[in-house]
Amino acid sequence: MEMMPDEEYNILAALQALDILDESEPGAFAEKLKESAELKSELAALESTIAAIAYTAPPVPVAPDLKNRLFQRIAEQQPTPTESVNLKPIVTSPTENNTPSLIVRSHDVKWKSYGVPGVSFGKLYIDKKKRELTCLMRLEPGVTFPLHRHAASEEVLVLEGDLIVEGEICHQGDYIRSVPGSTHSPLTRGGCLLLMKTSLENEMFV
């Protein structure tokens, strides 16, 4: 059946309300809309109905695993060449210094007297340029180490026993760092074994 002109304008009104009216048609429709109060009313009713659709439609439940499936899909996507370049790990060039690491076996440590009764040490490494000594130090029970001044920073890690430094009792796993110029006279009650890095220029007050 041939469509009547008014029916055509009603269809155009529906397309206008849906905002999908073809760009070639708005001119004629706008002219008709100015002339026809009935068409204006029809358009207003259509726009009102369409606006209400979103509020009258029943809610659609979202699948509980939707988010996980979306993330899985994203993870499965192959990266673009640009992404692949950006995600490449940074590889640094190997150094030319192949000097092997120094390893001192515990049974190779040679224990010597430190020059203080009840105190012995086992040398691990001497840095001649920095004048620093890394060593193990053992204090017998009840020993008080003589008062001394640090020429550089001193680092001590308690491996066994107890060490009392400036009134603080340190036990296994505790770390002590003394700053250059500081003085103290640590002592032990039950004896201790220490890992120490200290200066060879320390000043002893005997």
Matching residue, tokens 């320390």: 202
CA 92 to chain centre: 21
Q: What is the mean pLDDT of the chain?
A: 80
Residue-level pLDDT at 61? 64
C-alpha 191/C-alpha 164 separation (Å) is 11
Assign residue 179 the CATH number of its domain.
2.60.120.10
Q: What is the total residue count of the chain? A: 206
Count of structural domains, the chain: 2
Asked, for residue 20, whether it belongs to a domain, the answer is yes
The token duo for 157 is 């890690």
The answer to the question of residue 177 being in a domain is yes
- Contacts of residue 204, defined as CB under 8 A and 6 or more positions apart, other chains included, come to 146, 147, 148
Mean pLDDT lowest for which of 21-35, 163-177, 180-194? 21-35
Q: Looking at the structure, do residues 49 and 112 belong to the same domain, yes or no?
A: no
Task: List pLDDT tens digits, range 52-75.
Answer: 665 555 655 656 676 567 667 666
Q: Tell me the percentage of the chain whose pLDDT exceeds 90.
A: 48
**Residue 161 lies inside a defined structural domain of this protein:** yes
pTM flag (> 0.95): no
Query: Structural domain of residue 156, as residue ranges?
Result: 108-204
How does strand 132-139 pair with strand 119-127? Answer: antiparallel
Q: Which helix (H) or strand (E) holds 81?
A: helix 81-86
Q: Is 144 domain-assigned?
A: yes
The answer to whether residue 147 sits within a structural domain is yes
189 vs 38, residue with greater confidence:
189
pLDDT tens readout for residues 71-119:
676 666 655 555 444 556 666 566 567 788 999 998 999 999 988 899 9
How far apart CA 12 and CA 7 sit, in angstroms, is 9
